[in-house]
């Protein structure tokens, strides 16, 4: 079950990875085509420019309007064991049939004016059913007279029939469920800043094992994140509400309170974790501090610019789990403070300076209170710097370069690290072969996957995995989670995953 949850979380990353690009299009296009912005900056009123900005806004907005469909496709691709293209087609077919069924039943009902939006819940259900049918029946053999419909062709067909059943099911049960979810969202919002704190704390804590993708989509895309009337439409989900308001040229005033599920990220990602990097760098003895300057500068800049924090968190997560819990606590407090100060900055994917500029600064101080982030961020930088310095020195935490001359996430120093072939594909393939051996051989491997920095492998016998060899092959850290093994290889994780799957004959 734990491994399955990890796979689901990772599967979400495929469609969610589209959102930064869509957010950039919508953010830039919506902001620069807004009548208020054009009035403030007359040069933007050029008809050609306005046409371009409006096209950008529409192009970005269509992604968010069809996010449920994209999530269903991503789930099918991420969880399909073989022939992922057919699984994706089944997911699309099932989703379209499901939504058409609910619309038809609503039209035939006694309340034709009501609407049923299954949202991310519907996409998860139909996606899960579609991928289960695919994994079970993609090689099915039918009688000779039906042979054309056998194999992978059978899956979209049977998924379509499943879509009818699921659509009817949602027609019957979705209204009370939707009411319950709205009530739950209201209760969370009604719990005030304490609820906001626990949202930030638990999401960051779950990130330690890659399960945070199971938490935030429920708030970003469902009534748990709030319900707002925007431009005459009822919008549910924190992120969808924010971008609907962003696309509405007539929206005035401060953006929705649902942005409390985003605004707390900026102080941690832009200021707090870079402060932790400075603390870890200062804890290194002066004689070898220069060797680590580039490492800490690069990961701090990545967090500041893009909000990707894993490279920093992996520096202390494995050697000091309690320090990670403390970091999660501070992140929760950051969400609490942003809520208390009425900071209303949205984002697409993370809380770096790109989203801060697009969805904070460019939207105006009166709508987002983006200026408040600066004093809070300064405080957070100091808080992280001094607390991390104290913890590292007091408890002798082995962060990079502190207790011994080892550099996490640097060039591997183990066997094969000096091979010329490491510079090309031959080196990746050769290293992948060695990783397979270290994992206990091909017969011990059940499934191979990867996220941004981690190679995630499901194995039959974890005790057959040689963790020392994996570290010799360049892994920053190796740990066992729920019968699986995760090895931190940084940006090479996806390359190793592809090479290993190719050598094992596993369809990607």
Cβ-proximal residues to 78 (8 Å cutoff; 6+ apart), any chain = 7, 8, 10, 11, 12, 13, 14
Q: How many angstroms from the chain centroid is the CA of residue 410?
A: 25
Give the pLDDT confidence score for residue 228 in this predicted structure: 84
CB of 431 within 8 A of CB of 495? Answer: no
Give the pLDDT confidence score for residue 19 in this predicted structure: 67
At 479, give phi and psi (nearest 5°): -145, 155
pLDDT tens, residue order, the chain (508 aa) = 545 655 666 676 677 667 667 767 776 787 678 675 677 568 888 999 999 989 988 888 888 788 888 888 988 988 888 788 889 999 999 999 999 999 999 888 877 666 777 777 788 899 999 999 998 888 887 787 777 777 778 889 999 999 999 999 988 887 776 666 556 556 766 778 898 998 899 888 877 765 676 678 778 887 778 788 888 888 888 888 888 887 787 777 777 777 888 999 999 999 999 999 999 999 998 888 888 888 888 888 888 987 878 778 878 886 788 999 999 999 999 999 999 999 999 887 678 887 898 888 988 898 899 999 999 999 999 999 999 999 999 888 878 877 654 333 333 334 444 444 344 455 788 889 999 999 999 998 888 887 667 788 888 888 899 988 998 888 878 887 766 888 888 767 888 888 898 888 776 5
Give the pLDDT confidence score for residue 20 in this predicted structure: 63
Give the pLDDT confidence score for residue 375 in this predicted structure: 96
Give the pLDDT confidence score for residue 390 in this predicted structure: 95
Q: How far is CA 38 from CA 43, 49, 253, in A?
A: 8, 11, 17
pTM of the complete model: 0.57
Give the pLDDT confidence score for residue 424 in this predicted structure: 45
Among the residues of 318-405, which ranges form H helices? Answer: 321-340, 353-356, 365-368, 373-394
**Edge-to-edge strand list for the sheet holding 454-459:** 445-450, 454-459, 484-488, 478-481
CB of 357 within 8 A of CB of 304? Answer: no
Q: How far is CA 460 from CA 264, 439, 441, in A?
A: 40, 10, 11
Active site residues: 451
CB count, 10 Å around CB of 283? 19
Alpha carbons 232 and 216: distance in angstroms, whole number: 26
- Give ∠ CA 493-13-352 in degrees, rounded to 5: 90
Cβ-proximal residues to 174 (8 Å cutoff; 6+ apart), any chain = 102, 116, 118
């Amino acid at each position: 079950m734990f491994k399955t949850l990890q796979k689901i979380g990772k599967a979400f990353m495929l469609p969610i990875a589209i959102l930064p690009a869509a957010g950039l299009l919508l953010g830039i296009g919506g902001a620069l085509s807004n009548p208020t912005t054009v009035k403030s900056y007359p040069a933007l009123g050029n008809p050609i420019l306005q046409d371009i900005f409006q096209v950008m806004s529409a192009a970005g907005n269509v992604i968010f309007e069809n996010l449920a469909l994209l999530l269903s496709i991503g789930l099918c691709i991420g969880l399909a064991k073989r022939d992922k293209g057919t699984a994706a087609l089944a997911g699309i077919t099932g989703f379209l049939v499901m939504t058409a069924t609910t619309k038809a039943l609503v039209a035939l009902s006694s309340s034709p004016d009501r609407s049923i939006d299954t949202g991310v819940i519907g996409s998860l259900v139909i996606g899960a059913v579609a991928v289960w049918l695919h994994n079970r029946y993609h090689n099915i053999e039918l009688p000779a007279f039906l042979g054309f419909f056998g194999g992978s062709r059978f899956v979209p067909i049977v998924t379509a029939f499943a879509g009818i059943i699921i659509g009817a099911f949602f027609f019957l049960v979705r209204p009370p469920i939707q009411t319950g979810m709205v009530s739950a969202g209201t209760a969370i919002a009604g719990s005030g800043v304490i609820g906001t704190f626990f949202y930030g704390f638990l999401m960051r804590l779950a990130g330690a094992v890659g399960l945070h993708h199971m938490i935030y989509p429920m708030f970003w895309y469902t009534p748990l994140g709030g319900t707002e009337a925007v431009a005459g439409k009822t919008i549910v989900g924190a992120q969808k509400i924010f971008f609907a308001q962003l696309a509405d040229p007539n929206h005035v005033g401060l953006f929705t309170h649902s942005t409390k599920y985003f605004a707390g990220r900026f102080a941690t990602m832009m200021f707090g974790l870079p402060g932790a990097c400075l603390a870890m760098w200062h804890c290194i003895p002066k004689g070898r501090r220069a060797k680590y300057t580039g490492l800490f500068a690069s990961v701090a800049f990545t967090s500041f610019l893009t909000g990707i924090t894993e490279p920093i968190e992996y520096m202390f997560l494995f050697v000091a789990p309690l320090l990670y819990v403390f970091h999660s606590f501070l992140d929760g407090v950051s969400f609490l403070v942003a809520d208390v100060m009425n900071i209303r900055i949205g984002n697409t994917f993370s809380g770096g300076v790109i989203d801060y500029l697009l969805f904070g600064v460019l939207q105006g101080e009166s709508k987002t209170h983006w200026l408040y982030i600066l004093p809070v961020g300064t405080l957070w930088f100091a808080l992280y710097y001094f607390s991390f310095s104290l913890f590292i020195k007091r408890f002798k935490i082995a962060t990079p370069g502190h207790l011994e001359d080892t550099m996490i996430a640097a060039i591997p120093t183990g066997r094969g690290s000096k091979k010329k072939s490491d510079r090309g594909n031959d080196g990746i393939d050769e290293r992948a072969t060695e990783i397979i051996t270290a994992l206990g051989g091909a017969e011990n491997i059940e499934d191979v996957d990867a996220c941004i920095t981690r190679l995630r492998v499901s194995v039959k016998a974890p005790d057959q995995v040689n963790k020392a060899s994996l570290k010799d092959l360049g892994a920053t850290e190796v740990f066992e989670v729920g019968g699986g093994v995760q090895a931190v290889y940084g940006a090479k994780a996806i390359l190793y995953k592809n090479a290993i799957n190719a050598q094992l004959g596993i369809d990607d």
